Amino acid sequence: MFFIGIWLSAFGTYSVSFWFFSFATSLNAFFFFCFFLCKNICWFSPQQGTKQVTIKAMFLMQLVKIYTFNPKNQINEFDVFVLCKGLNSGKPLEKPCPNSFVVACKNQEEKDFYTTLLFGLWKIKHFYPYHTGSVIPFIRISDFKQIVKEQANRVSIKPQDFIEDVHKFKLIERKQKQIYEQMALLNDVKRALIYRHFHSKR
């Protein structure tokens, strides 16, 4: 206690108060740095209103498994089936068939990502140069894996733009389905208008 008293008297109460203030300031700066670091790691964006959405989009395509469909294997609800034989090779399917690949996704987000990616590639005939076979064309699974990997990585350059386009794609697809249904009804009406003239009772 004697030495502490000498030390305090030598530096004065002002020095002790200043020391505590400096320590508190450094501690606050440290916590701020930690918060800023975590914020940047999570890539938080106020406009998106959520964390890790960009991370999810960036690494969505990294661990996906692709293999040839086998009816003996169990089907997962998040699997994406892709036609691998014929002129429409690369087209995503609603149900599996003997000539198809399986893109084994882990959740609905991955399934939406790959379904949209593959549909876009099929629509622009991106798989066509990779067709092989003299009679019935098909695509090799090695080529298919390489294409999917390259295009998924390319999309990941602007992941948020792709996520927004996926949403737009779904809206357009839903509207397109409604139009097809309306056209089918109109065709039925046209047939009914003509049909009654030939099968009406006189």
Tell me the per-residue pLDDT of 120-155, one tens digit each, with 9 for 90 and over: 899 889 999 999 988 899 999 999 999 999 998 888
Structure tokens at 24: 């508190």
CATH class of residue range 62-162: alpha beta
Tell me the per-residue pLDDT of 104-124, one tens digit each, with 9 for 90 and over: 999 998 898 898 889 889 988
Q: What is the CB neighbour count within 10 angstroms for residue 199?
A: 7
Structure tokens at 160: 């948020």
pLDDT, residue 154, reads: 87
Closest CA to 128 of 163, 161, 98, 88: 88
pTM score of the predicted model: 0.57
